Amino acid sequence: MERAEIAGDPRFFQRTGPHTLAAVVDAARAEAPPRRLMLTGIAPLQTAEPDQVSFLDNRKYLAALDTTRAGAVIVHPDMAARVPPAAVAIVTTEPHAAWARAATLFFPLPPAQPGIHPAAIVSPDAEIDPTAEIGPLAVVGARVRIGPRCRIAPLAVIGDGVIMGRDCRIGTHVSVSHALLGDRVVLYPGARVGQEGFGFAVTPEGFVTVPQLGRAILEDDVEIGANTTIDRGSMHDTVIGAGSRLDNLVQIGHNVRIGRCCVLVAQVGVSGSTVLEDFVMLGGQVGLAGHLKIGRGARVAAQAGVIGDVPAGAEYMGFPAEPSRAFLRGVATLRRLVRRDARKA
């Protein structure tokens, strides 16, 4: 079996190019000296060839920079002098973002293939823009509106009344119901959006289900990872703010409101009616209790359990979560006590 590492294996990724150095520099929004150079693709520093572009944004890879054969390297101005003479330094204060833009130049997202596959099941009253793509065995319900250049992958289910803007990408086996999607929303395979939330009343005879009458609102440029679940609201809406990114296997409870450009890493769980303000970052497996407020720009470390509000800009960790400095002082104190007792033994 072939095991050689290939960036952008042509069996799976559509490539454009070759591109001139000037085109790559423009795409990266960077600066470089003029040179007649054609670049055919991208590669890591360690394996790049003279017709490829690479990048460096971490000083621990300086040794790889010193020996790279890349034709061009995207670097911070502080690192430009370390680029080998045979390579062109593409200089920017944001090398990682520039790398992402350059990589997208060579490997753009495939465009939608307009049309509805004969094996798709589409309600007669669904409004589908003629530039949208509906894949085989996809199901599109009544009163659905799908905007220009959207792509609905095979076996996705778009429930009655769902509205999505332009350039959305809905992965295979996704289900969407009771939801309004903005422009450029991406739902990766297996995501579930808009299903009934976990709401019930407790009585002596058992549980009484509370009707979940809200919606799921995903604003522009939201991306939802594979097998992530977003419950619709009970009375209020569940809202995911513009530009936010949710990783795989994240659970969002009913009535949660997430602000702009938040990041939730894998296996985060957010209980109902909790509010995350803009630019919040939650590490993997963080759990948030319900009805909390996480302030703007707060960051919570992986596996923390949050049972109270977190102030804006704060950094919390541990269980129960507390300010990071207090948590680390507690850990240091405990270790000192353990060492002291060990010496006495």
Nearest Cα neighbor of 99 from 27, 15, 152 is: 27
In Å, the largest CA–CA distance within the chain is 81
Catalytic residue among 19, 76, 178, 254: 254
Alpha-carbon span 268 to 301, nearest angstrom: 11
Q: How do 133-134 and 115-116 pair as beta strands?
A: parallel
- Considering only CA atoms, which of 156, 158, 169 is closest in space to residue 109? 169
Q: Residue 186: which of 159, 156, 231, 206 has the closest Cα?
A: 156
254 is catalytic: yes
Give the number of other Cβ atoms within 10 Å of residue 251's Cβ. Answer: 19
Of 119, 99, 132, 136, the closest CA to residue 25 belongs to 99
SS3 343: helix
Alpha carbon 68 to chain centroid distance? 30
- What are the CA-CA distances from residue 323 to residues 124, 172, 256, 303, 318 (Å)? 55, 41, 23, 14, 9
In the block, tokens 């948590």 appear at 327
Catalytic (active-site) positions = 254
